[in-house]
Amino acid sequence: MGRSTVLVVDDDAALAENIAEILATLEVEVTVAPGGRQALAAAARGPIDVALVDVRLPDGPGTALIPGLKEISPLTEVVLITGDATVESAIAAVRGGAYAYLLKPVSPQDLLDTTRRALAQVTLARDRERLIAELARSESTHREVVEAVPALVLALDRQGRIRLWNRRLEEATGFGRGEMLGKPGEELIGHGGVRPLARRSGPDLLVRWERAEVTSVVDVCTYAVGLDVTAEQEMLRRTLRAERLAAVGTLAAGLAHEVRNPLNSALLQLQVLGRRIDRGDRDHASLKPVLGLIEDEIRRLEVLVNDFLSFVHPRPLELQPTALAELCRDVLTFVAPEAGMAGVEVEAELAETIAPVQADPQRLRQVLQNLVRNAVEAMSGGGRLTLRTRSVEGQVEIDVEDTGPGFPDETPIFDAFFTTKPKGTGLGLTIVHRIVSDHGGTLRVRSRPGQTCFTISLPASR
Ligand code: ADP
Ligand code: MG
Q: Which fold has domain 5-129?
A: Rossmann fold (3.40.50)
CATH 3.30.450.20 for domain 149-228, yes or no, is yes
Is ligand 1 within 6 A of the CB of residue 425? Answer: yes
Is ligand 1 within 6 A of the CB of residue 419? Answer: yes
Where in the chain are the domains?
Answer: 5-129, 149-228, 245-312, 320-459
Of 36, 11, 32, which Cα lies nearest the Cα of 22?
32
Non-local (6+) Cβ contacts of 235 within 8 A are: none
Determine the distance separating the centroid of ligand 1 and the alpha carbon of 380, expressed in angstroms.
13
Please tell me if the domain spanning 5-129 has the same topology as the one spanning 149-228.
no
- Sign, Cα dihedral of 214, 217, 218, 224: negative
Of 374, 411, 432, best ligand 1 pocket probe by most atoms within 8 Å of the beta carbon = 374
CATH 3.30.565.10 for domain 320-459, yes or no, is yes
In this predicted structure, what is the pLDDT of residue 141? 86
Q: Which tens digit of pLDDT belongs to each residue from 418-460?
A: 899 987 888 899 889 989 999 999 999 999 999 999 999 999 8
Closest ligand (CA of 383): 1
Q: Identify whether the C-beta of residue 417 lies closer than 8 Å to the C-beta of residue 425.
A: yes
Q: How confident is the model at residue 364 (pLDDT cuts 50, 70, 90)?
A: very high
Is ligand 1 within 6 A of the CB of residue 383? Answer: no
Q: Which tens digit of pLDDT belongs to each residue from 53-110?
A: 998 888 888 888 999 999 998 899 999 998 876 767 777 777 788 998 888 888 999 9
| CA dist list (Å): 433 to 265, 303, 364, 436 | 31, 18, 11, 5
Whole-prediction pTM: 0.49
Q: Which tens digit of pLDDT belongs to each residue from 375-427?
A: 999 999 999 999 999 998 889 999 999 999 999 999 999 988 889 998 788 88
How many residues in the chain? 462
218 has a pLDDT exceeding 70: no
Protein residues with C-beta less than 5 angstroms from the ion ligand 2: 374, 428
Q: Which tens digit of pLDDT belongs to each residue from 159-168?
A: 999 999 999 9
| φ, ψ dihedrals at 71, nearest 5° | -70, -40
3 has a pLDDT exceeding 70: yes
pLDDT average, residue stretch 224-240: 90
Q: How confident is the model at residue 462 (pLDDT cuts 50, 70, 90)?
A: low
1 has a pLDDT exceeding 60: no
50 has a pLDDT exceeding 90: yes
Determine the distance separating the centroid of ligand 1 and the alpha carbon of 374, expressed in angstroms.
6
Which strands form 193-197's sheet, in the order they lie side by side? 162-165, 152-157, 220-228, 205-213, 193-197
Which one of 1.10.20, 1.20.120, 1.10.150, 1.10.287 gives the CATH number of domain 245-312? 1.10.287
Angle in degrees, 0-180, between the axes of helices 230-278 and 284-312, rounded to the nearest 10: 170
